Amino acid sequence: MPRHLSPDHIWLTWSWEPGVVIPLGVAGVLYVVGLRRLWEASMRGAGVRHLEAVSFVAGWLVIALALVSPLHALGAVLFSAHMTQHELLITLGAPLLVLGRPLIPFLWAVPSEWRLSVGAVTRSEAFSAAWQALTRPSVAFALHAVALWAWHIPRLYEATLTSELVHSLQHTTFLGTALLFWWTIFSARGDFRRGAAVFYLFATVLLTGALGALLAFGGKLWYPAYSATTLQWGLTPIEDQQLGGLIMWIPGSVAYVVAALWIFAAWLREAERRTVQRERALLATRSVLLLLGFVSLTSCNRASGDESQLIPGANPNRGRIAISRYGCGSCHTIPGIAGAHGLVGPPLGQIASRVYIAGVLANEPDNMIRWIEDPPSVDSKTAMPNMGVIGRDARDIAAYLYTLR
């Protein structure tokens, strides 16, 4: 990076490093190609909603702005510019990319043989154990926090100003741990996970705020390497450091606070929805007392594991074959199906005992068949695309799923 950059030449210092431009280009192409294939196979907005696609594009542009624009070169002469670059990567670019659900288009972009290979890797015990460990909120938070603090140790930080390799390692660490952290935050489901997500978001605010406050209010210059480069930009070295600390402390905390409030609001809405559902269920129970005998008979039949008998012409054995043929096991873990250890969607063990299908439909045979045939028509937000399952196969698949208790 240039260490003698003047304001007159700032707009001439775009960075076109292959190690940055090539990964950015590959990620953008994979997302666009995969999204087009996904939507052509089902319908526009299926699997990845329009707003999620916009989010990925926005995140991609933010990452490009941080790493390719003159801001990258300016970070070599102004600490405050370097902090701005880091905040763009960590608190804006990374969450936008995660909200864009890139894994789904990426998988659709590659040949089916590659997808099978990826599936085989993700099903391995070593990968599953490592991924489950890394995606624990506490682990993701710790890695993110360590990266933020360690790279601001003066010796390590100043090494990034003299070595492009070390600088690239710093950015890779920041972006990688940020993507992992935001993935665990946005994938949180259930009361405990959402509560943990809110806790770790506010904990991150405290950690980054503390580091920013130390830089902003400390009277000692942490990074002497900037002593000779800030004056031509109208700042003393200590003013530049204080401005960088404030950027990390205040604007850098906004994304974490907004995300925490958003998840907390979703948490409250979910609790309210469950309360309403319980009240409706109670009201419905009181209003159908005259049909209690019929409901009891149906419940007993379901408890005995005979749901497949309620689907005319259905055959669980044919359903097992159809599940393999449609490749359901590449996304779901399904007992009794060879190689069905996918981690993209939820496991389907004991699905016959669940109250709801995908959280939106009562678990009844007709609803199960409807969901298998065309998931996006039931829930436009689902990541499960329309796989073109024909009616007979859908009934057979449903019959098999109802044997899983």
pLDDT 10s digits, 33-63: 999 998 988 788 888 899 999 999 999 999 9
Q: pLDDT digit of tens for each residue in the chain (405 aa)? A: 555 677 777 888 898 999 999 999 999 999 999 999 989 887 888 888 999 999 999 999 999 999 999 999 999 999 999 999 999 999 999 999 999 999 989 989 988 888 888 878 888 888 888 988 998 999 999 999 999 999 999 999 999 998 989 999 999 999 999 999 999 999 877 667 788 889 999 999 999 999 999 999 988 999 999 998 999 899 999 999 999 999 999 998 999 999 999 988 888 887 777 777 777 777 766 666 666 655 454 444 444 445 555 687 888 889 888 888 878 877 888 998 887 887 777 888 888 888 888 877 888 888 888 889 888 888 877 778 888 888 888 889 988 988 887
Q: Cα separation of 274 and 122, whole Å?
A: 34
**C-alpha distances in angstroms, 302 versus 165, 284, 368?**
62, 20, 14
Parse the chain into domains and list their residue ranges: 7-270, 292-401
Burial (CB < 10 A; 0-12, 13-18, 19+), residue 297, is exposed
Q: How many residues are given for the chain?
A: 405
Q: Cα separation of 240 and 226, whole Å?
A: 9
CB 352 within 8 A of CB 401: yes
Q: Cα separation of 28 and 298, whole Å?
A: 51
- Determine the pLDDT at residue 121: 84
Q: Cα separation of 230 and 391, whole Å?
A: 70
- Determine the pLDDT at residue 20: 93
Number of helices and strands (H, E) in the chain?
19, 2
pLDDT 10s digits, 129-142: 898 899 899 999 99
Q: Cα separation of 354 and 179, whole Å?
A: 32
Q: Cα separation of 303 and 401, whole Å?
A: 14
Q: Which residue has the tokens 């939507």?
A: 39
Q: Cα separation of 54 and 35, whole Å?
A: 12
**C-alpha distances in angstroms, 359 versus 114, 183, 323, 362, 388?**
31, 21, 21, 8, 22
Amino acid at 353: S
- Determine the pLDDT at residue 292: 60
Closest CA to 180 of 211, 220, 138: 138
How would CATH label the architecture of 292-401? Orthogonal Bundle (1.10)
Q: Cα separation of 223 and 230, whole Å?
A: 12
